[in-house]
């Protein structure tokens, strides 16, 4: 048989996991080469583990060593050499999901039994690739490195002298293996005794190297569909996984704007629950969600929706605090001022974090929609507080001729509908004119006024009117002429 699973894994999975890596590249590649046959040996013997890992969005090494957690650190030290063990562990973590995907493709099925059979079929090549120390480690995990096929093979004829030698070897090998295993476990026990106790995994990732927590921020529109999404993480592999989940859940081709930066943690707290949470958010109108650190913030136009959503989410994120937010009528004036300040600050920060060499229209629109442009009554004069934000955006748009935006003006339902529509058009055009004045090509922008036709909140309340008086940015697909709406999360309000 020509196929060699280990060689194919090195070609396909290693290349994917190590793409963009520069530090300790050789050591990480070698660690993966040693890890693949060990992982396949475990999968061959433990189909139930395969099923468990397939059910997780981001399976980790700790899941594989769950029956003997003390062995994990010893295993990592064996692979790491001079590289920090956390770096090697991160690399191995990122390889598990694509390895499963590769095996499913080769087996022609996602069934664990099919994957186990595939590995058994090509076991000689897998077994030959195992590091010399792997059998003892696998034995401690309850994994046999013997091939099931060998049990059904007839014994070969051997000379008498060879049989005598085999008998001696048969006595010695189990004894030697036992001694080695005992020594290994003794070293592990000693290592664990000399170190402080490590708390059991609770879904809270170890985050030491980076300075900012990973962050997911998204919102839905009036029909519950995804309208804005921004993702901040230090793990490019996980970003791709989560992007695919978001696209599938919301049936959305674009997904999130992304900031992949080493300053952000590589994992979210309770991140395996993110897809389940997003499925609950889908369909909830005018909802926004911020997943950052150990806090999950939910806001909806209808406070009752937020409470119901939070009640469903809390059992899924046991290591996080779930908060709901709502603007109350009694504090409209105070909340308006605070909302404007917070929204503008968020917009400035989001624009500053956009890589000027990788500018995407969705990233710019999402950032701009975090601010609030609070026009004075009947005025089209842009507030000074927003001009610096628009200046930031203009500098980026000028560098990216592929960025085309539609600026939409909206008003509340107070006053004459026709006059409101005209005012909303003038305000949207004022934004366009300002950006053009800063050097943006007019062909990249267009203004549309909708007046009071598309409310996002109840016009019967002051806070609802405040939400409805807004400017929204859309991404225009120049090939189809269809706009990509980006609104709601920190929607700009006039």
- Split at pLDDT 50, 70, 90, the class of 135 is confident
SS3 content of the chain, % helix, strand, coil (to 5): 55, 10, 35
The alpha carbon dihedral of 486, 491, 492, 494 has a sign of positive
Confidence of residue 186 (pLDDT cuts 50, 70, 90): low
Whether 151 shows a pLDDT value over 60: the answer reads no
Question: Residue 492: its pLDDT value, please?
Answer: 37
| Stronger pLDDT, 181 or 202, i.e. the higher one | 181
pLDDT in tens, 295-339: 998 988 778 888 899 999 999 999 999 988 653 433 344 357 777
Residue pair 494/470 in contact by the 8 Å Cβ criterion: yes
Q: For residue 410, what are the β-bridge partners? A: 470
Q: What is the pTM of this model?
A: 0.36
- Taking the C-alpha atoms of residue 489 and residue 290, their distance in angstroms, rounded to an integer, is 10
pLDDT of residue 207 exceeding 90, the answer is no
* pLDDT given at position 477: 59
Average pLDDT over residues 83-102: 90
Least confident interval from 147-161, 169-183, 377-391: 147-161
Q: What is the arithmetic mean of pLDDT over 458-477? A: 82
Higher pLDDT, 234 or 331: 234
Residue 36 above 90 pLDDT? yes
Report in angstroms the alpha-carbon separations of 422 from 307, 373, 379, 397, 442.
38, 18, 12, 27, 21
CB contact burial 146-181 (16+ within 10 A = b; e otherwise): ebeeeeeeeeeeeeeeeeeeeeeeeeeeeeeeeeee
All domains in the chain, ordered by first residue: 5-152 (no CATH), 207-326 (3.40.1520.20), 328-494 (3.30.1330.60)
* Dist CA 453 CA 375 (whole Å): 19
Alpha carbon of residue 192 to chain centroid: 32
For 389-434, give the DSSP string.
HHHHHHHHHHH-TT--EEEEEE--SSS-HHHHHHHHHHHHHHHHHH
Q: What is the CA radius of gyration of the chain?
A: 29
Q: Is the pLDDT of residue 193 over 50?
A: no
Q: In whole angstroms, what is the distance from residue 472 CA to residue 454 CA?
A: 11
What is the model's pLDDT at position 184? 58
Q: What is the mean pLDDT of residues 11-32?
A: 83
Question: How far, in whole angstroms, is CA 67 from its chain's centroid?
Answer: 27
Q: For 30-47, what is the mean pLDDT?
A: 91
**Residue 479 Rama label (left phi>0; alpha psi -120 to 50; beta):** alpha
Pick 324 or 188 by higher pLDDT: 324
What is the pLDDT at residue 221? 76
Question: Higher pLDDT residue, 193 or 375?
Answer: 375
Burial label, 19 (beta-carbon count in 10 A; 0-12, 13-18, 19+): exposed
* The predicted structure's pLDDT at residue 172: 53
Sheet harboring 470-476: ordered strands across?
445-449, 405-410, 470-476, 483-486
CA distance 67 to 142: 9
**pLDDT surpasses 60 at 388:** yes
Residue with tokens 């839905």: 220
pLDDT tier for residue 266 given thresholds of 50, 70 and 90: confident
Give the burial string for 247-285 (b: 16+ CB within 10 Å, else e): bebbebebbbbbbbeeebbbbbbbbbbbebbbebbbebb
Region for 352 from its dihedrals, namely left if φ exceeds 0, alpha if ψ lies in -120 to 50, beta otherwise: alpha
Find tokens 């007046």 and name the residue: 451
Mean of all residue pLDDT scores within the chain: 79
Range scoring the smallest mean pLDDT among 21-30, 66-75, 172-181, 327-336: 327-336
- Which of 377, 441, 450, 360 shows the shortest CA–CA distance to 407? 450
Residue 450 pLDDT: 93
The pLDDT, as a whole number, for residue 187 is: 55
pLDDT of residue 173: 53
Confidence class of residue 429 from pLDDT cuts 50, 70 and 90? very high
| pLDDT band at 368; cut points 50, 70, 90 | very high
SS3 172: helix
Residue 93 clears pLDDT 80, i.e. is over it: yes
C-alpha 146/C-alpha 410 separation (Å) is: 70
Q: For the chain, how long is the longest CA-to-CA vector?
A: 107
pLDDT at residue 210, rounded to an integer: 58
Res 208 pLDDT > 70: no
For range 93-110, the mean pLDDT: 90
| Whether residue 37 has pLDDT greater than 60 | yes
Each residue of 161-182: pLDDT tens digit? 443 444 444 545 555 555 565 5
The answer to whether the CB of 391 falls within 8 A of the CB of 348 is: no
Beta-carbon neighbour count of residue 450 at 10 Å? Answer: 17
Mean pLDDT of 114-136: 89
Q: Which range has the worst mean pLDDT, 123-132, 290-299, 331-340?
A: 331-340
**Among the ranges 174-183, 251-260, 447-456, which has the highest mean pLDDT value?**
447-456
Euclidean distance between CA atoms 159 and 319, whole angstroms: 65
Q: Tell me what pLDDT residue 157 has.
A: 38
Give the phi and the psi of residue 88 in degrees, each rounded to 5: -65, -40
Tell me the angle at which helices 85-107 and 112-121 cross, rounded to the nearest 10 degrees.
Answer: 90
pLDDT of residue 54: 87
Are the C-beta atoms of residues 189 and 68 closer than 8 Å to each other? no
DSSP 358: S
> Left if phi > 0, otherwise alpha if psi is -120 to 50, otherwise beta: which for 449?
beta
């Amino acid at each position: 048989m020509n196929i060699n699973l280990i060689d194919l894994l090195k070609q396909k999975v290693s290349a994917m996991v190590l793409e963009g890596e520069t530090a300790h590249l050789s050591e990480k590649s070698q660690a993966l080469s040693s890890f693949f046959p060990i992982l396949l040996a475990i999968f061959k013997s433990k189909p139930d583990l395969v099923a468990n890992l397939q059910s997780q969005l981001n399976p980790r090494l700790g899941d594989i060593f769950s029956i003997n957690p003390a062995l994990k650190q010893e295993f990592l030290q064996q692979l790491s050499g001079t590289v920090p063990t956390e770096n090697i562990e991160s690399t191995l973590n990122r390889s598990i999901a694509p390895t499963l995907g590769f095996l499913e493709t080769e087996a022609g099925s996602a069934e664990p039994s099919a994957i186990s059979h595939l590995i058994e079929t090509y076991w000689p090549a897998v077994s030959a690739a195992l590091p010399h120390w792997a059998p003892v480690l696998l034995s401690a995990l309850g994994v046999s490195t013997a091939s099931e096929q060998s049990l059904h093979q007839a014994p070969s004829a051997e000379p008498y002298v060879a049989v005598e030698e085999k008998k001696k070897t048969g006595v010695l090998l189990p004894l030697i293996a036992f001694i080695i295993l005992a020594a290994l476990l003794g070293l592990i026990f000693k290592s664990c005794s000399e170190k402080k106790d490590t708390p059991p995994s609770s879904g809270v990732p170890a985050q030491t190297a980076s300075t900012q927590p990973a962050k997911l921020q998204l919102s839905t529109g009036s029909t519950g569909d995804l309208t804005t999404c921004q993702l901040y993480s230090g793990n490019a592999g996980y970003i791709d996984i989560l992007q695919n989940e978001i696209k599938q859940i919301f049936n959305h081709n674009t997904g999130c704007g992304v900031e992949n930066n080493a300053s952000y943690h590589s994992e979210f707290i309770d991140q395996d629950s993110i897809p389940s949470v997003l499925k609950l958010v889908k369909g909830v109108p005018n909802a926004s969600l911020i997943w950052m650190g150990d806090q999950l913030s939910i806001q909806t136009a209808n406070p009752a929706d937020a409470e119901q959503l939070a009640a469903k989410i809390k059992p899924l994120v046991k290591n996080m605090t779930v908060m709901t937010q709502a603007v109350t009528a009694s504090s409209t004036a105070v909340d308006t001022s605070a909302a404007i300040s917070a929204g503008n600050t968020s917009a400035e920060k989001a624009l500053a974090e956009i890589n000027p060499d990788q500018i995407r229209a969705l990233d710019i629109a999402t950032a701009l929609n975090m601010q609030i442009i609070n026009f004075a009554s009947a005025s089209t004069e842009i507030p000074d507080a927003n001009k610096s934000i628009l200046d930031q955006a203009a500098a980026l748009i000028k560098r990216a001729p592929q960025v085309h935006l539609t600026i939409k003006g909206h008003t509340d339902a107070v006053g004459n509908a026709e006059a409101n529509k005209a005012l909303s058009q003038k305000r949207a055009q004022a934004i366009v004119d300002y950006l053009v004045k800063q050097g943006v090509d007019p062909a990249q922008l267009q203004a549309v006024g909708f007046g009071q036709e598309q409310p996002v909140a109840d016009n019967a309340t002051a806070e609802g009117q405040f939400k409805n008086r807004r400017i929204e940015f859309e991404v225009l697909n120049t090939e189809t002429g269809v706009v990509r709406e980006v609104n709601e999360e920190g929607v700009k309000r006039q």
